[in-house]
A and B are shown apart, each in its own frame.
Chain A
Amino acid sequence: GENVEQHPSTLSVQEGDSAVIKCTYSDSASNYFPWYKQELGKRPQLIIDIRSNVGEKKDQRIAVTLNKTAKHFSLHITETQPEDSAVYFCAASRVRGSARQLTFGSGTQLTVLP
């Protein structure tokens, strides 16, 4: 099955700096890659996603890049703010039988220091 590895597991940055989280996946059939943000005690919420026919996608301070050949994708957060502190999960989605299955990375605890 699909295996998604996510690094680093923890990341601390100064407010205003950039943060980068990287993920690799194993199944070349995966073609949808969402990123979720989970604040303490809350549910995961989608922040950005990318499909395999696109190499990069941007939404204000957040961007995601995808390298299909190398099977890795990354989340970039610029001008970080304290409210960006949370656990971030990457995921890879592929068709399994008649369904789409989402496999998550193990998460990155991002701390933005004021």
Chain B
Amino acid sequence: EAQVTQNPRYLITVTGKKLTVTCSQNMNHEYMSWYRQDPGLGLRQIYYSMNVEVTDKGDVPEGYKVSRKEKRNFPLILESPSPNQTSLYFCASGGEADTQYFGPGTRLTVL
């Protein structure tokens, strides 16, 4: 089954404690992206990647890092999380047709 998976689905952590949210897709898509969703703000792009070892900033990259060492994986790293990074995070992947497929989401709470 073609899908995008994310782990963990829920995470509660404390300020400053490094964390990684994993994202994996099995559709051989070159394009992958991370979004955060906040009430009233829609989905805002954090980082995206056009292919292995190719990443670029989206609209709200501050406080986040990503890596793309393999085509199927695109982890999101928060080196020192802060409360304003409490949000719902979605990973997405897309092929040549521009359509993006979203993962199930990760609800992160930073205390």
**Alpha-carbon gap, A18 to B19, bound state (A):** 45
Provide the A95-107 mask, 1 if CB < 8 A to any CB of B, else 0: 0011111111111
Chain B, Cβ-Cβ closest to A99: B50
Number of A interface residues at 8 Å Cβ cutoff, please give it. Answer: 25
* Residue in B43, B48, B90, B100 whose CB lies within 8 Å of A99: B48
* Residue in A89, A100, A103, A105 whose CB lies within 8 Å of B59: A103
Provide the B86-98 mask, 1 if CB < 8 A to any CB of A, else 0: 0000100010001
Secondary structure dominating the interface of B: strand
Number of B interface residues at 8 Å Cβ cutoff, please give it. Answer: 25
Chain B, Cβ-Cβ closest to A1: B59
- Taking a contact as CB atoms under 8 Å apart, the answer to whether A99 and B31 are in contact is yes
Interface stretch, picked from B65-73, B75-83, B101-109, is B101-109
Chain A residues near B99: list those with CB within 8 A. Answer: 34, 46, 49
Binding site for B on A (CB under 8 A): 1, 6, 9, 32, 34, 36, 42-46, 49, 89, 93, 97-107
Q: A46-B101, A103-B45 are in contact. List 8 more A-B contacts (CB 8 A).
A: A34-B98, A34-B99, A43-B104, A44-B90, A46-B99, A46-B100, A103-B59, A104-B42
